[in-house]
Chain A
């Protein structure tokens, strides 16, 4: 099982049904696996911030969803995250394709990439990195378990150590 298959398997075990997303090359590896799987419904968004509202609506309605997005999307989502799932205490899994770090070719991705941990810390959002294949299951499962027990956002960063970098 590759890292993407392992993540999808963890999503299923945690009964996550909706994948709300803005695409990136890393997320596409997940989307390829869930597009034709009846356990999931995918929702393309025009901007990541929308996904904060949508995922919260799904949770409050009694269904589990996830926001999948590139690093840049976290910046687009900050006030929505700070004012909706955090104060209303809504479980909120985020899967972030991490750009702007190790091996980045595009300088314009780097400031947001480097600020990502600080932004998550500033909002008190626990985050975990997927860096090694052997740890994908324990990190993904643990992060999902945490978001539902904490009833607040938790981020999983899919790093270039695991998935390689864009040329």
Chain B
């Protein structure tokens, strides 16, 4: 089983000018704790929207790699997005799902992935040509390195333990947005 924070730290350590969208909950807490940076976009709500936001970013900035750190509960809420991502297939998109098989922040209720549902197979069925399912940190690191060094889109399902990060990213939505856009050099 993968430690979600350790895997997030591996991702954060390899970032240069990549755009990162972090889904609500532990995905964004771990990203903030691992490495806060202007090009992190933290979602405070909008469950399911992180990957759609990343698709929009990938379309707007084809020269930049876009990474979304998603959760199993969030993706289950917006499964159709996988079909849209695979259809548009931006080469610069990396969709990572931290799958802890539960809604951890609301009390650990099981998600469907704790039973029969396999999000990597769903991604393949949606049309992803590169969908990995990894269960160890070493396998995750290898998969992520491949994604960072070749054309995508990539889908990586990482089976993780529950997360324990207590750090909290900035709470002001407009601060998060302005900091991100300013760093990206977008006039607004």
Q: A18-B59, A58-B57 are in contact. Are A52 and B49 (CB under 8 A)?
A: yes
Q: State whether the Cβ of A39 lies closer than 8 Å to any Cβ in chain B.
A: no
Q: Do A60 and B186 have beta carbons less than 8 Å apart?
A: yes
Chain B: which residue is nearest A46 at the CB level? B80
Q: Does A83 contact B (CB under 8 A)?
A: yes
Give the Cβ gap from B33 to chain A, nearest Cβ, in Å.
Answer: 22
Measured CA separation A52–B177 after assembly (Å): 15
* Minimum distance in angstroms from B82 CB to a CB of chain A: 9
A104 to B140, CA, bound (A): 53
B46 pairs with A57, CB closer than 8 A: no
For residue A43, which residues in chain B have a CB less than 8 angstroms away from its CB?
59, 84, 88
Number of residues of chain B lying within 8 A (CB) of chain A: 40
Which one of A61-69, A109-117, A118-126 contacts B? A61-69
Closest partner residue, chain A, to B60 (CB atom): A61
Which size bracket describes the interface of A in this complex?
Answer: 20 to 34
* Whole-angstrom CA separation of A61 from B58 in the bound complex: 8
Q: How far is the CA of A43 from the CA of B85 in the complex (A)?
A: 10
**Inside 8 A of B41's CB, which chain A residues have their CB?**
60
Evaluate contact between B53 and A63: CB separation under 8 angstroms: no
Q: Given the complex of chains A and B, what is the CA–CA distance between A49 and B80 in angstroms?
A: 10
A47 to chain B, nearest CB (A): 5
Q: Please pick, from B57, B80, B188, the residue contacting A50 in the complex, using a CB distance under 8 A.
A: B80
Given A52-B49, A53-B46, the answer on whether A90 and B60 have CB atoms closer than 8 Å is no
Q: Is A87 an interface residue (CB 8 A)?
A: yes
Kindly list 17 other residue pairs between chains A and B, CB separation below 8 angstroms, not including A20-B56, A49-B49, A80-B48. Answer: A41-B59, A44-B84, A52-B46, A54-B53, A57-B59, A57-B60, A58-B59, A60-B41, A60-B56, A65-B59, A79-B45, A79-B46, A83-B45, A83-B46, A84-B43, A87-B174, A88-B176
Whether A146 is near chain B, meaning CB under 8 Å from some CB there, is no
A89 within 8 A of B: yes
Given contacts A57-B59, A60-B181, A88-B176, contact A46 B81 (CB under 8 A): yes
| Least CB separation from B126: chain A residue | A46
Between-chain CB contacts (< 8 Å), 20 pairs: A43-B84, A44-B84, A46-B83, A46-B84, A49-B48, A49-B52, A50-B80, A50-B84, A53-B46, A53-B53, A53-B55, A53-B56, A54-B56, A60-B41, A62-B185, A62-B187, A83-B45, A87-B173, A89-B174, A151-B188
Which of B51, B88, B184 has a CB less than 8 Å from the CB of A53? Answer: B51
CB closest residue in chain B, given A43: B88
